Structure formats: structure tokens, C-alpha cells
Structure 1
Amino acid sequence: MMLTLRTARPADLGAVEALLSAAGLPLQGVADHLPQFVVAEREGALVAAAGLELYGTSALLRSVVVSEGQKGKGVGAELVQRLVERARADGLEALFLLTTTAADYFPRFGFVRIDRAALPTQLHASEELRGACPASAVVMRCIVERQP
């Protein structure tokens, strides 16, 4: 039962949206940013997904979702790590995220809580910040360390 991580393809949109719906996560903007998503596949089925929304030298980490049967197996951590590595390779300076349920999960990847007012202006174009994610969500930032 090998897990395969790969970049999302257009045909994955329905499965990604189904995972997000099952987890109660917003769907707005997913289709627009699907090329920046990474999905996890096991035995031909999508079992997890996570994506980036790129805005200049920053990105919003969004839609980190793992199917019920795969939770607790490190799949989410693999996806987040892959996206942090992609951000580093692409020369991004910082990743941001909004969460209502996982503020204690993301510090292991270098994310720290920040005030919503500290978000870069260009991120306000995101559907997540325009109402898809509640105003009560915790805002977090990870400074992407450049490789020497």
C-alpha cells in the first residue's frame, strides 16, 4: 500500500473537492489554484491534498486535508513538507495559513501565530481571506529559509 505524492491534475478536482467537503473545508478558489496542489494517492484513490495560492513572494498554504482512513499516518505532514520545500525551491519568502482546528499542528513546520493585520496585502485577493474562511481563524506564518 505505497503512498504516492504528486502534483494535482485537472481530473483530480472532483476528488479534492470531495475530500474538502467531507472535512468541512472551503472549496472556493480550489479550481483556480489546483496546479499548485499536491495530492497523495494510495491504490489509485486520492487520500489527501494540500495546496498553495501564490501571491508574489508569499503563498497561502490551504486545503490541507487527509481522508479519515489515513489520519495519523504522517500523510498530512508529508504534504506540508513537500509544499514548504516547493516554496523554498521557488524562492518564496513566506507561507501563510488560516486554520480553525489545527493551530497546534503547524508549528512543527515552522509556522507561528501572527495577527491577521500582519498578512501581506496581496493575500487579501484569496477567496479564503474574502470570506471562505471565518474571521475567527488563527493566522500563521512560516518564513521560508533560503538554501545557501
Structure 2
Amino acid sequence: MHSDDPVLGTIRAARQQDLPAVEALLKSCNLPTGGLAQHLPGYLVLEDAGQIVASAGLELHGTAALLRSVAVQQNYRNRGLARAMVNQLMTHARSQGVRAVYLLTTTAQQYFWSMGFETLPREAVDPAVATSAEFGDNCCATVVAMRLALGGRR
């Protein structure tokens, strides 16, 4: 899970020393940080000039996964960075036998629709994913659950 773009920096796997920077990025984007340290090995970050400017994480739960923490620093948005990171994570998920990827969002429903995700009732989320810290942190009524089927039965 690694690629280079000479203009925009490097997408790479997150390292333990990235934790404070990823946490700060998520907080600046009003995204939850619960469970971040535990699942950091499943994250990608985009580093530009030594600074973490974007992140996206994938929590694996058997044949289901949770996409979380898709965040891009304000001045790096609208360049396709989040989409590139999510696409890398979906490729990784498929290679791990994941059949469905879930997410929660309050503001990016249209964006994730454009990537093939569909909305669904929170009760329909795979129980293994529903027990993650991300779900506990996102209990408000405005949170929308979404799913992307990667193949096989849902």
C-alpha cells in the first residue's frame, strides 16, 4: 500500500510515530479518534514535506471491514487524494477476503455514493463492525451508515 506523486507527496502505511499527527488531523476535521491507536496499522497517510496531510483507515472484521477516518487537510482537498487512498484500501480489503466495507458519515454521503457505497439502516451493519469504537463514537441520529459490496454475498 504505497505510491508516490512528485507534486503531492507520498501515500504510505501509517507508522506508530504518526499517531499524534493523524489524531490532530482527525480532530481538525471533526472526526472521531476512538480506537485509532489500536487500528493504526490499517491506515494510510499522505505525507507532504514531512507533514501528514491526509489519512484513511480500514478496520478488518473477518469478511467485513470499516472504512474510517477519511480526512484531508483543507488546503489539500479537491485533488483526488481521498479517492486514491480509499481505492488503495479497497484493493487491500479485497486481497484480505473482505466482502463488504461499511462506513459512517454525517457530511460525505454524496461523495461515498459516487464511489459506489449505498445507504442502509444501522441495524443492517455487520455485527462485527457494529461493535467497533467508531460506531460507539457516532451514536447521533444524523449519522448515515453506508456499505460497499466487494463481491460474493452481502
TM-score by length of 1: 0.93
Q: Which of 96, 103, 108 is 2:114 aligned to?
A: 108
Aligned to 1:89: 95
Q: Give, in whole Å, the separation in 2 of the partners of 1:145 and 1:78.
A: 20
Cα offsets for 1:85-125 (capped at 9, x unmatched): 11111111010000000000012222000111111111122
Q: Give, in whole Å, the separation in 1 of the partners of 2:8 and 2:35.
A: 30
Q: Which amino acid aligns with 1:140?
A: M
Say whether 1:25 aligns with 2:31. yes
Say whether 1:66 aligns with 2:72. yes
Q: Give, in whole Å, the separation in 1 of the partners of 2:123 and 2:138.
A: 15
Say whether 1:7 aligns with 2:13. yes
Say whether 1:35 aligns with 2:41. yes
Q: Give, in whole Å, the separation in 2 of the partners of 1:128 and 1:32.
A: 12
Alignment length (residue pairs) = 145
Structure 1: 5+ residue runs without aligned partners?
Answer: none
Structure 2: 5+ residue runs without aligned partners?
Answer: 1-6
Q: Give, in whole Å, the separation in 1 of the partners of 2:111 and 2:130.
A: 24
Aligned to 2:149: 143
RMSD of aligned Cα (Å): 1.2
When structure 1 is superposed on structure 2, of 17-26 and 117-126 the one drifting more is 117-126
Q: Which of 45, 53, 65 is 1:47 aligned to?
A: 53
Q: Which amino acid aligns with 1:134?
A: C
In the TM superposition, residue 139 of structure 1 has moved relative to its aligned partner by 0.4
Q: Give, in whole Å, the separation in 2 of the partners of 1:114 and 1:125.
A: 17
Q: Which amino acid aligns with 2:103?
A: L
Q: Give, in whole Å, the separation in 1 of the partners of 2:59 and 2:115.
A: 18
Q: Which of 115, 118, 138 is 1:133 aligned to?
A: 138
Q: Which amino acid aligns with 1:62?
A: R
Q: Which amino acid aligns with 2:95?
A: A
Q: Give, in whole Å, the separation in 2 of the partners of 1:145 and 1:93.
A: 5
Cα offsets for 1:34-80 (capped at 9, x unmatched): 00000111122111001011111100000000001101111111111
